[in-house]
Structures are given as C-alpha cells and as structure tokens.
C-alpha cells in the first residue's frame, strides 16, 4: 500500500535529513485512518498535523469581488472551500453564477456533494437524507428522525459519522454545561453543502427540465432566509474581530443561545467578571427599529447565566441599517453595525 511505501521512504531516506514530507488529502476518512490512525504504517512518524478548514468570510472576501451585501450572499452559496469559491465568475451576477455553476446538470458543482459522500462512505443514501433534512430546517434529533424515518438508535451513529467527516456540526446553547446538553441542534457544516441540500437535491428532476424556473420560483424567493443564517456567522466573526481589536472587551466564549421558543443570535460570556454580550443580526429589507431593542432586552432576562448583578452589553447588526433616531436613543452600552461598519471591521484588520 502507499502508506507502507511511504513508511519505508521515511525510515530509509528521510530519518536523518533536514527534509520534510508533506501529505495532503481532501478525504477526511482516508487521512485519519490510512495516515493518522493507530494501524497505519505511518503511525508515530508524523511531526505535526493541520486540520485545514474552509476560509472564513473575512478570508474569502479577498476572492469574492462583489459589494459587501452580494459578497455575503455569495459566501452563503459557495462557503469558504477554495474550489467552490473560484468556480464563480465575479464579473457575472450572483444569479447568473448560481444558474451556470450549480443548476446546470453539466456543471462541476451540480453533483459535487454526491461525489463527496461517495468518496467518504460506502452507502451514502441515508447520510444524504439526513443532510437534506437538516438543511431544510429539521435540526433536532427528533425532527431529523421524523423527517428521515430513521430510528433514534441508528440515527445517533449516522450523526456521529457525519460529524467526524466535518459534514455536520452539533451545536448546544452557549450557556449549556458541556456537550451532553439535550438541547442540541445540528447544522450542515459547510455553506455550499447547506445550499445544495436545501435547493438542489430536493429539486433534481425540476432542475434538469427547467433550471431557470427552479431558481426564480424556489431559490430566489427563499434565498434571504438561507443567507440570514450565514449573516449570523459573519456577524460572529465581526464580534471576534472587535474583541481582538479592543473595541469590545474580551469574552471567553461566543455563540448562539436558545431556550424553548426564545433565541439570541450571538451571546458572549466573560465568567471571570460576570459580563454578558447579547447581539441580534437582521438580514431584512427594513431598517431595524426600537422594537428589536425592546425584544433583546426582554430576552436577556431569560438567559440564566451569572449573578443577578451581571454586566450586560448589547449589539445590533443590520443589513438595512437602523431607523432614524435609534442610535441617539440608546446609551453607550449599545453598539449598532450596518453593512458598511461590518466591512470596515474586516478591512481594518
């Protein structure tokens, strides 16, 4: 096998030299079992490893030659995988790119997720159904089981496999104590895969007959809902940049919070001195008004964390800005960011 040949090469030729052998692979299962696993001939010979993740929005922004609004929309479609990013022609509109690079049955990206799963898994059918269920909004184990017809016992194994392959991410509320929380949600852990399983996989037959109709009737009207989730991630990136730059005080953990029907897009925790950051992100056509301020203040009371005299800071992120007078009506404990502000945060790094 190739690992055996590499073992011999390392032992016989590289061991006492200053040379370095770098092995790269896109198949997570192959790299972890054949290269890093205990039974691999190469086990014990590595001097380091990098689990290479897709580009963040900030990193991908150097490639996406759109204005900030369309850049966020585009990132919600391609994600940060370089091959997907570079398939788009940024001199064309996002709509044109989606139709030519994804919705065309001859396009490279049309079948890409299916090929990806076939590379990683022997029998991908059930995994495909799970990813589709999660992408369209079934995010709890019970919801996924109901949507796919897979019993909870086998389902947990499928979910674990998809997590190990970096295809699915398990989230718990940021205030939850450990990963054993029963309030977990799952999310497709790649923007392009989330887009593909939400729009392409369920509409294959229609796409092959009338792709323009699928785009105009299904994708285009629903795309703002899809993008809103990505916008939350972009805003979370912005929060970390604000922390690193010193504009925000430090927080040890930043993530989503939910309990029952209530949810807050971004919550930051600073347990050392009992500080809490609470932020909402709105990807809407209307400017944010005083109602969201009142709503966030109300939801803050439901976050069971820290002492009663904890310090709270608030932030609002909005695609369409804010109504006149809102900024002036709020004290210094509130920070407001529109798309121009968000772009400045990333450009100022």
pLDDT digits (tens, 9 = 90+) for 201-260: 999 999 999 999 999 999 999 999 999 999 999 999 999 999 999 999 999 999 999 998
List, for residues 65-95, the tens digit of each pLDDT value. Answer: 999 999 999 999 999 999 999 999 999 999 9
Closest-CA residue to 45 (of 99, 8, 91, 77): 8
Tell me whether strands 275-282 and 262-270 are parallel, antiparallel or unpaired. Answer: antiparallel
Closest-CA residue to 144 (of 172, 176, 203, 185): 185
CATH fold of 57-222 reads: Arc Repressor Mutant, subunit A (1.10.10)
Domain ranges of the chain: 1-52, 57-222, 229-347
Range 267-288 average pLDDT: 97
Whether residue 161 has pLDDT greater than 90: yes
Q: Is 318 left (phi over 0), alpha (psi -120 to 50) or beta?
A: beta
Residues 63, 59: Cα–Cα separation, whole Å: 8
157: exposed, middle or buried (C-beta count within 10 Å: 0-12, 13-18, 19+)? exposed
Range 249-272 average pLDDT: 96
Cα of 210 vs its chain's centroid, Å: 30
Quote the pLDDT of residue 179.
64
Instruction: Please report, rounded to a whole number, the percentage of residues in the chain having pLDDT higher than 70.
Output: 99
SS3 249: coil
Which is more confidently placed, 28 or 213?
A: 213
> Concatenated DSSP letters for 172-185?
--TTSSSTT-TT-E
SS3 55: coil
Sign of CA dihedral 138, 142, 147, 152: positive
Q: Encoding tokens for residue 207?
A: 């796409």
**Same fold for the domain at 57-222 and the one at 229-347?**
no
List, for residues 11-22, the tens digit of each pLDDT value. Answer: 888 888 888 888
Quote the pLDDT of residue 178.
67
Residues 35, 38: Cα–Cα separation, whole Å: 9
Of the listed ranges 96-105, 120-129, 189-198, the one predicted with least confidence: 120-129
Residues 95, 108: Cα–Cα separation, whole Å: 17
Architecture of domain 229-347: 3-Layer(aba) Sandwich (3.40)
Closest-CA residue to 78 (of 199, 191, 229, 237): 191
Mean pLDDT of the chain: 93
pLDDT-based confidence at 110, cuts 50/70/90? very high
Partnered with residue 257 across adjacent β-strands are 264
């Amino acid at each position: 096998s190739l690992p055996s040949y590499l073992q011999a090469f390392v032992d016989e030729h590289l061991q006492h030299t200053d040379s370095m052998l770098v092995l790269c692979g896109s198949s997570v299962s192959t790299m972890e079992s054949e290269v890093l696993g205990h039974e691999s001939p190469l086990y014990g010979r590595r001097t380091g490893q990098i689990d290479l993740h897709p580009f963040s929005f900030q990193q991908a922004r150097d490639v996406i030659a759109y204005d900030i609004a369309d850049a966020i929309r585009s990132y919600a479609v391609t994600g940060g995988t370089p091959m997907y990013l570079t398939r788009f022609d940024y001199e064309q509109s996002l709509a044109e790119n989606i139709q030519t690079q994804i919705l065309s049955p001859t396009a490279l990206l049309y079948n890409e997720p299916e090929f990806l799963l076939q590379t990683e898994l022997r029998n991908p059918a059930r995994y495909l159904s799970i990813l589709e269920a999660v992408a369209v909004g079934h995010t709890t184990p019970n919801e996924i089981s109901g949507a796919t017809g897979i019993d909870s016992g086998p389902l947990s194994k499928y979910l674990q496999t998809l997590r190990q392959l970096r295809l699915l991410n398990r989230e718990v509320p940021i205030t939850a104590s450990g990963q054993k929380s029963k309030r977990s949600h799952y999310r497709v852990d790649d923007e392009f895969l989330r887009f593909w399983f939400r729009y392409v996989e369920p509409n294959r037959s229609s796409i092959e007959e009338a792709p323009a109709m699928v785009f105009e009737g299904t994708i285009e009207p629903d795309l703002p809902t899809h993008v809103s989730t990505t916008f939350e991630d972009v805003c979370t990136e912005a929060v970390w940049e604000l922390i690193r730059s010193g504009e925000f005080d430090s927080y040890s953990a930043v993530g989503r919070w939910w309990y029952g029907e209530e949810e807050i897009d971004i919550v930051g925790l600073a347990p050392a001195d009992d500080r809490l950051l609470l932020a909402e992100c709105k990807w809407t056509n209307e400017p944010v008004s005083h109602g969201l301020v009142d709503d966030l203040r109300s939801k803050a009371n439901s976050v069971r964390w820290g002492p009663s005299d904890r310090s709270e800071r608030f932030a609002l992120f909005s695609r369409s800005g804010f109504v006149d007078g809102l900024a002036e009506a709020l004290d210094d404990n509130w920070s407001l960011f529109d798309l121009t502000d968000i772009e400045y945060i990333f450009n100022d790094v």
